[in-house]
Each structure stands twice: as C-alpha cells, then as structure tokens.
Amino acid sequence: ENLYQLVLRSAGSWHVLFFVVIIFLGSFYLVNLILAIVAMSYDELQKKAEEEEQAEE
C-alpha cells in the first residue's frame, strides 16, 4: 500500500499501471522458468528409467 502511494504521488497513474504490468510479467516469467526446470528434470528421470529398463532386459 505504501509503495503504491509513493509511486502514485511521484509519477502519476500511468506509472502505476506500468509497475503492475511489469510485476505480472515478471511473475509469469518466473513461473514458466520453474515449470521448465521441473519438466526437464522429469524428462531426464524418465530417460534414465527407460535406460535401466532396457539394461535389465
């Protein structure tokens, strides 16, 4: 709340909109980054499991 008031007083309402958009896009980027890391790890584990299965046969 305090940060919102400081930005609104010093820069105006358009800068508040810019700030909200940047926060939203940054959060979206970080969530996608985390999901990509999880997907890559899952893919590596799945490949290792398939290789172990083939080695047992």
Global model pTM greater than 0.85: no
Residue spans of the domains in the chain: they are: 24-57
Rounded to an integer, what distance in angstroms lies between the CA atom of residue 55 and that of residue 57?
A: 6
Residue with token string 């083939």:
54
Better-predicted residue by pLDDT, 17 or 50: 50
The Cα-based distances of 38 to 13, 18, 25 in angstroms read 38, 30, 20
pLDDT (0 to 100) of residue 17: 83
4-19 pLDDT, tens digit per residue, is 788 778 887 787 788 8
Determine the Cα–Cα distance for residues 32 and 2; give it in Å rounded to an integer.
Answer: 29
